Structure 1
Amino acid sequence: MTADVAQDRQDAPAPTPAAPASTRRRGGGGLGRYILTRFLLIIPTVLILMTVVFFLMRITGDPITAALGGRLSPEQLAQRRAEAGYDRPLAVQYLDYLWGVVRGDFGTTYTDHTPVATILTTYGGATAELVIYAVIVALLVGVPLGMLAARSRDRWGDLALRVLAILGYATPVFFVGLLLKLVFSVGLGWLPVAGRISSRGELTMGKILNPTPFYLLDAIRLGDASLLADVISHAILPAIALGLLTGGIFLRLVRTNMIGTLEMPYVDSARSRGVREARLTSRHALRPALIPIITVMGMQVAMMLGGAVLTETTFEWKGLGYMLAEYMANRDYVAVQGIVMMLAVIVAISNFVVDVIAALIDPRVRY
C-alpha cells in the first residue's frame, strides 16, 4: 500500500505555482494604476455636476434678473446683464464660466459683492469641522451599539437597537436639531442654542495670528480652557443632530456583518477552545465588520453634507450649508454655483480617499 501511494505521488502532476499578486489583480496595473484611475474620475464627476447646476440655475433666467429683479429698472437690469455678459449665447457663458473655474475665479455674488472664492475659504472650514464632529459621533454611536446588537441577536435588546437605528436615519435632521435645542438649550439650559462660538469667544479668537479654519485647533493653540469649552459646547448639539443620521446606518452595518462573522468556522473554532464571547466580538469579528463602514464612508459624507445645510440652518452654524441656504433664498445663483461645486469636490475627494483605503485593507477589492 505504501509503495502504491508513493507511485501515485510520483505520477501526480506538479502543483502550479501561485500567480503573483500583481497578475492575480484585474487590470494588471497594480495599486498605482487603481489610485490614478480613481483620482482621474474626480474630474468628470465634478464637471458633470457643474454643468447640471449651471444650466438648471438658468432655467428661470439669468442670475442678475433672478437676484435683482424688482429692485432695478428694466434699463438698469439690461445694463447689468450686458456688463456681466449675460446677454451673450448660453454656450459662450458656459465656456466662460468653465475658464473662470480653471483660473480659480468663481465669480462675485450679486447680493453682497463678495468673491465666491472668499466665501468658500471663509465658510468651508466650518462645514468641514462640523462633518468631522458628526463622523466621530456616528462612529461612537454606531460601532458599539452595533456590536451590542450582534451579541444580543434576536433578543429584546437587539430589537430595541434596530428600532433606534431606523429612527436615527429616518428622522429629519432639522427635527432632531429642534428637539435637541428644546430639551438641552431651552429646557435644561445646559448648552448654547445656536452659533459656532460665543461673542466673547469670537473676540478671543481674533487675537490669533494666522488662524486656521477650525475653531477647535485654534482654541488648543491658545491653550485657553474656557475657550476650548466654549467651542466644544457649541458643537455638541449640531454634531449629534447630524451624526445620528449616519450613526443608525453604521449600527445596522456593524450588526449585520458581525453576525455573519461570528458564524464563520474560525470563530466557532475559537469558541470551542474556550475563548470568551467578549474577546471573540472585539478581536475576531470587529475588524471585518468595520470594512463595510469604510467602503460606504464616501456616500455617508455626501449625506452629511446634504444634512449640513439643514443642520447649519437650524443651529445658525455659519458654514457652507448655512450660506447656501441664504444665497438660495436671495436667488444669488453665482454663489449657489460656487458652493455646490465645492461640495461636489469634497464628496468626490472623500470617495477617492475611501476607495484607496478600502483597496489597501480589503482583500476583496480588485485593482
Structure 2
Amino acid sequence: MIETLEQANTTEPAPDSPKGGGSLLRYLVARFLLIFPTMFILVTVVFFLMRMTGDPITAALGGRLPPDQLAERIHQAGYDRPLIVQYFEYLGQIVRGNFGTTFTDNQPVVEILARYGSATAELVAYSLVVAIGFGVPLGMYAAYKRDRVPDAVLRVLAILGYATPVFFTGLMLKLIFSVQLGWLPVAGRISTAGELKMQTITNPTPFYLIDALRLGDLQLLGDVVTHAILPAVALGLLTGGIFLRLVRTNLIGTLERPFIESARSRGVAETRLVRAHALRPAFIPVITVMGMQIALSLAGAVLTETTFEWKGLGFMLVQYMSARDYVAVQGIVMLTAVIVAVANFVVDVVAAFVDPRVRY
C-alpha cells in the first residue's frame, strides 16, 4: 500500500485547464458536497447490516426478558414494523439530531458521543503530533542520507512502524515503560486525584488538556500528559512510518527536479536546498493523504483505547458491541464517519491552498 501511495504522489499533478477551470470555490464546493452521499451510503450500509441479525432489542436483551415482555418492548420501539419503514424513520431521526437511546444503560446516544468522542479526538490529535514529529524530520534525514546506512535503518523502522499491530506495540510499551521501568501510568486517561480536580472546574470542556491549562495546575497538566504518552506513541507510530516513507520518497524526487539542480549549481548549501526549496513540494503528498491517515488512526484507536483503557469512542464501541447494543454502535460509527469525512474535506482545503494544481 505504501509503495502505491508513494508512486501516486510522486507523479506530476494535472495542470489547470487553459480556461482556468480549476476554480478554488468550485473545487471546495464539490468536495464539501461529497460529504453527504458518503454519509448517506454509510448510514444505509450500517443500518441494514445491523438488522441482518434481527431487531436491536432482541439482540441486546434476548434471553434476559420473558418472551411477552420482550415482544412488548419490540412493539413499543416499532421494530416489528416493515424494515423499510424503520429505515426512513431512522433517517428522519438522524436529520433531527436524534440517534436514539442505548438499550444496555438507557442513555441518549448523543450524550455518549459527546462524552467519549472528545477523548478519542484528543488521542488522535496526540498521535498525529507524534506521527508528524517522528515521520517528517526522519523522512527528511533519510532523503538527505539516501542509500546510506542511516537511510536503510530508517526505512526498516518505518516498515516496522506501520506493519506492527498497534495493540502489540501498546502492550510492549506498557510492559517496558509502565511495568518494568515504572515511568508512565499503565492505563487510563487521568488519575483518580486528577479526575477529582477536574470536577472543580466551572464550565469544563470535554478536553482534559485544555482544562488542565485553564487551571494552571502543572501537576494536573503533567498527570494528563503522562497518561497520554504511551497511547499516543502506540497509535502515532502507525502513521509515522507512513509519513517517513512518503516524505523520503517525495523529497528525493523533488531534489532531482531542475530548479533544485539549478540552485545546487549556484552553490546553495544542501541543507538549505532541503529546508528552503524542496521541503514544501515534498510535504504536499503528506497533506493529501493525511485524511486517509486520520481514518486509519480512528480505526487504530479502537485497539489502542482498549489496550490502555482509554475511555473514548473506540473503547465504548467494543463494550457496546459485546453487549450487542446496536443503537449505540450505529451512533458511534456514524460519528466516526462524520469525523473522517470532515477531516478529508479540511485536508482538501489545505492542499488546495498549498498547491493550486490539485484544484480540478
Instruction: Settle same-fold status: TM greater than 0.5.
Output: yes
With the length of structure 1 as denominator, give the TM-score of the two structures: 0.92
**Residue of structure 1 aligned with 2:68, choices 65, 75, 81:** 75
1:195 corresponds in structure 2 to 188
d(CA) in 2 for partners of 1:250 and 1:22?
31
| Alignment counterpart, residue 271 of structure 2, candidates 251, 259, 278 | 278
Offset, 1:37: 1.5
- Report the Cα offset of residue 24 of structure 1: 3.4
The amino acid across from 1:24 in the alignment is: K
Equivalent in the alignment of 1:299: 292
Q: 2:173 aligns with which of 147, 172, 180?
A: 180
Question: Is 2:98 the partner of 1:105?
Answer: yes
Deviations 1:13-58 (A, max 9, x none): xxxxxxxx8963336xx22222112111111101110110000001
Could you tell me how far apart the structure 2 residues matched to 1:184 and 1:341 are?
A: 35
How many Å separate the matches in 1 of 2:17 and 2:220?
Answer: 52
1:266 aligns with 2:259: yes
One of 335, 338, 342 as aligned partner of 2:331? 338
Q: Distance in 2 between matches of 1:128 and 1:23?
A: 42
Unaligned runs of 5+ in 2: 1-15
Question: Structure 2 residue aligned with 1:136, among 118, 129, 139?
Answer: 129
Larger radius of gyration: 1
Instruction: Tell me what 1:26 maps to.
Output: 21
Which residues of 2 match residues 308-347 of structure 1 at below 5 A? 308-347=301-340
State the distance in 1 between where 2:216 and 2:269 align: 44
Q: Partner amino acid for 1:298?
A: G
> Distance in 1 between the 2:206 and 2:240 partners?
26
SS at match of 2:79: coil
Of 238, 254, 264 in structure 1, the residue corresponding to residue 247 of structure 2 is 254
- How high is the TM-score relative to the length of structure 2? 0.94
2:345 is aligned with 1:352: yes
The alignment covers a number of residue pairs equal to 345
Aligned residues of 1:106 and 1:117 also touching (Cα < 8 A):
yes
Whether the 8 Å contact between 1:241 and 1:311 is mirrored in structure 2 is yes
- C-alpha displacement of 1:363: 2.7
CA–CA separation in structure 1 for the residues paired with 2:17 and 2:78: 53
Question: How do residues 216-227 of structure 1 correspond to structure 2 at under 5 angstroms?
Answer: 216-227=209-220
Q: Supply the distance in 2 between the matched residues of 1:146 and 1:266 (Cα, whole angstroms).
A: 21
Are 1:62 and 2:50 an aligned pair? no
Output the CA distance in 2 between the equivalents of 1:103 and 1:22: 42
Distance 2:19 2:157 in 1: 43
Residue 24 of structure 1: SS of its match in structure 2? coil
Aligned position for 1:163:
156
What is the CA distance between 1:85 and its match in structure 2? 0.4
Contact 1:246 1:300 (8 Å CA) reproduced? yes
Runs of 4+ with >4 A deviation: none
Unpaired runs of at least 5, structure 1? 1-20
State how far apart, in whole Å, the 1-side matches of 2:51 and 2:88 are. Answer: 15
Distance 1:50 1:26 in 2: 33
Alpha-carbon distance in 2 for matches of 1:22, 1:121: 44
1:259–1:22 CA distance, 2 compared to 1 (3 A): closer
Residue type of the alignment partner of 1:262: L
Task: Give the CA deviation at 1:273.
Answer: 2.2
Q: Distance in 2 between matches of 1:41 and 1:269?
A: 42
Q: In the aligned structure 1, how far is the partner of 2:106 from the partner of 2:41?
A: 27
How well do the aligned residues superpose, as a CA RMSD in angstroms? 1.2
Once the two structures are superposed, what CA deviation does each residue of 1:113-159 show, in whole Å capped at 9, x if it has no partner? Answer: 00000001111111111111010000000001101110111111111
User: What SS is found at the alignment partner of 2:100?
Assistant: coil
